[in-house]
Structure 1
Amino acid sequence: METKLIDAHIHLDFYTTEEQKQIIESLDKHQIEGLITVSQNLKSAKSNLALSKTYCTIQPAFGYHPEQTLPSEKEIVQLTEFILTQEQDMVAIGEVGLPYYLRQETDLKLEEYINLLEHFIMLAKRTKKPIILHAVYEDAPVVCSLLEKHSIDKAHFHWFKGDDKTMQRMLTNGYFISVTPDIVYKPKIQRIAKQYPLEQLMVETDGPWPFSGPFENKRTHPKMLHESIKVIAHLKQIDRTAVYQQIYENTRSFFTL
């Protein structure tokens, strides 16, 4: 049975150097062909670029994670220049989006985050690269409107959580989503995966984010994706080999690998 997979979203630079080495050296054993390594900021982007130069299994994406303080104008300029200089080495703009969780903890000016996201959306259009999005719950429709405004069709909503109306809008627009290993034990994520077309679905770890259930107290590793595939096949009542093949092809095609 063909069981190759690509982790569509991992923060590899958040692992220690030793953990990075252990993960990368074990990928072949676990039939993981590659990792899409998303970035938190400029420093993170530089780290992921360096990893990609060392390991051919690493495919970096460059962006500014929204669940943090807004960057200064100087930081935005520096990151933008880096992206435009290194665009041949990146597979996507990301991780970018809106600060849903940060907003629950502190008052912030959402409009400024929306403006920053629009800047990255325009960068994605300029560089002709897909965009990896952090946009959950009520933020997802806002992001959909921005994508539609700029006629962006290659959008990946990682670890998506949202209502049926927004999900229908996303799938109609051809946007992709990915699910993490929490699909193994969370009914809400199972419901989303069951409804979303297999042809627009990918799998990710979002590592080193930790998971519960059967993954309690285990370091997040791309090998966990195989458990996600089992659940997706069961939910959709589709042969597991066909699920592996479709999700693998989805990821390769979306990121032009």
Structure 2
Amino acid sequence: MLFDTHVHLNADQFEDDAEEVIKRAREKGVEHMVVVGFDEKTINKALKLIETYDFLYAAVGWHPVDAVDLTDDYLAWIEELSDHPKVVAIGETGLDYYWDKSPKDIQQEAFRKQIRLAKKLNMPLIIHDREAHEDIVDILKEENAEEAGGIMHCFQGDVKMAKQCLEMNFYISFGGPVTFKNAKLPKEVAKEVPLNRLLVETDAPFLAPHPYRGKRNEPSYVKLVAEKIAELKEVEFEEVANQTTENAKKLFGIS
């Protein structure tokens, strides 16, 4: 029993074989998935998917890379979509200083707006953080984001940052990088995060775990992430699978 808390089945890379990809995930024990929409196109595709498959859910938000395009109308649309019974989170939102396609001040304002929206709606956030650790933590604190809580998606920070995020009511989620042979930091963090505050994801089609690194990722590979975490924490795979699934259901309000 596994829960992929962050997948982009709405990406163009799955245009031709999404049904087969979903079938493979189910065969590997993936019970639920959250399809993340981060702009108009991907949000609409996520909504179609969750209306087709009863075990799929959606998150709706605006990616920091495209923060320049987040209008008040789009923000109102996201708020409207939150009423959908299978929309379970706001995001992904956050900061991305690697691509830097939107100015930092515009990214930060879009991030703050979505935090405030999540608090207003009493919904969890899904946080994207790339090369922006300090500003992410500062803004979460300044906006009292603990009132919403949520997920630090594909966590890339250190143990200190993880503890700060845990204190602010966020779960720490790991994807493919925790399986990479040379990735010491995520392994250190995975050992330290309590199992009842930990989630697993793929971020498919991106960041495929070892031994598929460099290839298209897919949700069936979330099992490899859970297996690596079980190895790092020296517990049985079933314990990680069951606990992370229960964590996700609790966070998203899924019975």
With normalisation by structure 1, the TM-score equals: 0.88
Runs (4+) of structure 1 exceeding 4 A deviation are none
1:87 match: 83
Aligned equivalent of 2:154, options 154, 159, 184: 159
Match of 1:117 among 111, 115, 138: 111
Q: 2:96 aligns with which of 96, 99, 102?
A: 99
- Summarize the Cα distance change of 1:131–1:86 in structure 2 as closer, same or farther, 3 Å threshold: closer
Match of 1:134 in 2: 128
Q: How many Å apart are 1:209 and its aligned residue?
A: 0.6
Which segments of 5 or more consecutive residues in structure 1 lack a partner in the other structure?
A: none
For residues 247 and 151 of structure 1, the distance between their equivalents in structure 2, rounded to whole angstroms, comes to: 20
Aligned to 2:164: 169
- For residue 19 of structure 1, what is the aligned residue in structure 2? 17
Structure 2: gaps of 5 or more residues: none
Query: Which deviates more, 206-215 or 34-43?
Result: 206-215
Whole-angstrom CA distance in 1 between matches of 2:84 and 2:185 = 38
Q: TM-score of the superposition, structure 2-length normalised?
A: 0.89
Deviation per CA, 1:214-237: give whole Å up to 9, x if none: 113543121211111221112112
CA–CA distance in 2 between the matches of 1:203 and 1:210? 13
Equivalent position of 1:182 in the other structure: 177
Q: Contact 2:64 / 2:95 at 8 angstroms: preserved in 1?
A: yes
Q: How does 1:1-257 map to 2 (within 5 A)?
A: 4-14=1-11, 15-68=13-66, 70-71=68-69, 73=71, 76-89=72-85, 90-103=87-100, 109-136=103-130, 137-148=133-144, 150-185=145-180, 186-211=183-208, 213-257=210-254
Cα 1:170–1:133 change in 2 (3 A) is same
Question: What SS class does the counterpart of residue 126 from structure 1 fall into?
Answer: helix
DSSP-derived class of the 1:70 partner: helix
Q: Is the 8 A contact 2:152 2:170 kept in 1?
A: yes
